[in-house]
Structure 1
Amino acid sequence: MRREELALSKTELAKAAGSSITMVSKWEAGMTMGIEYAAKICEKLDISLIWLYYGGINSSATCVTTKIPIVGNTQAGPDKEWFNLDFPAGFGDSYIDFPAKGRNVYALKVIGDSMAPRILEGEAVIVDPDSEPATGEEVIVRLESGDVMVKTLAAIRNGQIFLDSFNNGYSRMTFPLSEVSCIHPVIGVARSSKIKTA
């Protein structure tokens, strides 16, 4: 393992990534790492981003598309029609050039300041519905009511989901899991300048 070869602790790697020791352990156990974290870690590990994110020099072939469709915003989210189309690659009026492993990766434009300054209004969150959400990381939550939001997953327990905002001016949100349609992990954030029109 590269971290051990360099005699780096999980604490040092977590600090470099801007994440937690728990997440480092999960990444090392095989959980998919968001490319935003990989970009921060590769310099610390003195390896290429492609090697770290895709697992080796030849595995970049698993990158299905670099055009991630923006299919809605964090207030409206992807409409039900889009979900029913089984996440078609490239479907959207605007997109972000971004290396993605799976064809189902999508993006949402951020509305509001609840996640500022971590994620700013006008930026886009890149979401992988095929990855597992992790406590302490950003997620997109869609409720059965149709409401969609980007939040930090604080906990799931006793049949409820607890969501935090990065902006301290917002209170913790709690919903029964029965009201949650889906929880998808955010794997990256694209600045507004990276958003292109199809």
Structure 2
Amino acid sequence: MIDSSTIAPMRTVKDIRRDNARSLATDGPAEFARAIESTTQQVNQTIGPNPTRNIGDLLARRIEAAYGKTIGWLDVDHTKPAFESEKSVDKAALIPQSESPKTDKVVAAKLTSPQRLRAALGPMNLSAETLAAVAKIGVDVSSQWLDGEGPEITLVQAVAIQNTYGVNAVWLTKGKGEAGVAVRFNDEFRPFPITNWKPIPVVGMAQLGDDGHWADLEYPVGHGDGYVDFPSRDPDAYALRCAGDSMRPRIRDGEYAIIEPGHPVEPGDDVLVRSKDGRVMIKTFLYQRAGRIHLISVNETHPPVIFEADEIDRMHFVVATARASMFRPGSAD
């Protein structure tokens, strides 16, 4: 009779995974945890002396990627003789022995880029022709890559592979980071729409020189001498036709300044200034000090302008300019 005590218990895939993972953790659980970007506690729970958790598929693939193993490596019973294990393992899915470093401690950074490509794309069973078309290389080179051999992969080639197969280009060329791509760049282009377009009434003119006396027409808000279409949230927004050259090239003669009186004014903003003596001009607000407001022109040939604060009737924020062709005659209603 056969002594049943001498028969070794059947080893499951879970047992094989655990034993093979332990064979990689030769530097201790802390180093193993660092390599697979996990914690020592989780490592002890899966491959420690008294494990309480199994190595699931996701964790298995992460371990294999960290140590440069092909997908399914953890499932192979390496304790069996070679002729037995080869019956259940597809040789084409394994990195050839000549490619594997002698030590079991194999991290992605120690592999060549063709070896990393083989580890990532091997399970896809790609043809050399397909890979060659994606990476814009010869079929002979792509065939070498699929075998884990050949020249190193350039960044341009790696990006092409990343865009098609989702393999991280940095991981592929440098062995750093994760093999998978966290963000894909082929998302549908969905720009944010520009809303709040409305007719902005043109209420007068502003002189861009320093000594002009252009008076706005004082139309009620919402009415004016024609209008300009422009997106604005300010219900009191209005437009002025500009004359002069002191703000060139920012504002050209004949263009329309879009004014938002409800917008706060900060140093460096373009502003519409209307003095109490009737002058209307557009300048850049420089600063206010000791009761005096300092304004400058973009065009340096025009000198700065200084007003006493009590000389200014209004100073409104200029949000943008519109070309003369955007003017529409008639009511803005």
More helix by share: 2
Indicate yes or no: 2:232 matched with 1:100.
yes
Alignment of 1:119-198 (within 5 A): 119-198=251-330
- One-letter amino acid matched to 1:121: D
Which has the bigger relative contact order, CA under 8 A and spacing at least 6? 1
Q: Based on CA coordinates, which of the two structures has the bigger radius of gyration?
A: 2
8 Å CA contact 2:204–2:225 kept in 1: the answer is no
Indicate yes or no: 2:180 matched with 1:48.
no
Deviation for aligned residue 1:174: 0.4
The corresponding residue for 2:216 is 78
Q: 1:78 to 1:114 in 2, by over 3 A?
A: same
Q: Please give the secondary structure, in 2, of the residue aligned with 1:74.
A: strand
1 CA distance for matches of 2:252 and 2:308? 28
Across the two proteins, how many residue pairs are aligned to each other?
A: 135
2 CA distance for matches of 1:156 and 1:49? 37
8 Å CA contact 1:114–1:165 kept in 2: the answer is yes
CA shift digits 1:165-194 (9 cap, x unpaired): 011110000010010011100011001111
- One-letter amino acid matched to 1:142: R
- One-letter amino acid matched to 1:112: G
CA shift digits 1:103-161 (9 cap, x unpaired): 21000000100000110000000000111111101000010001110000011111000
Q: Please give the secondary structure, in 1, of the residue aligned with 2:320.
A: strand
8 Å CA contact 2:294–2:306 kept in 1: the answer is yes
- TM-score after normalising by structure 2: 0.39
1 CA distance for matches of 2:254 and 2:273? 19
Q: 1:47 to 1:155 in 2, by over 3 A?
A: farther
Cα RMSD (Å): 1.7
Deviation for aligned residue 1:78: 2.2
- One-letter amino acid matched to 1:110: C
8 Å CA contact 1:109–1:123 kept in 2: the answer is yes
Deviation for aligned residue 1:102: 2.0
Q: Please give the secondary structure, in 1, of the residue aligned with 2:227.
A: strand
2 CA distance for matches of 1:157 and 1:123? 31
Deviation for aligned residue 1:49: 5.5
2 CA distance for matches of 1:119 and 1:110? 8
> More deviation in 143-152 or 69-78?
69-78
Residue 247 (structure 2) aligned to one of 112, 115, 118? 115
Deviation for aligned residue 1:47: 5.5
Deviation for aligned residue 1:77: 4.0
- Alignment gaps of 5+ in structure 1: 1-45, 51-59
8 Å CA contact 2:284–2:296 kept in 1: the answer is yes
- TM-score after normalising by structure 1: 0.64
Q: Please give the secondary structure, in 2, of the residue aligned with 1:193.
A: helix
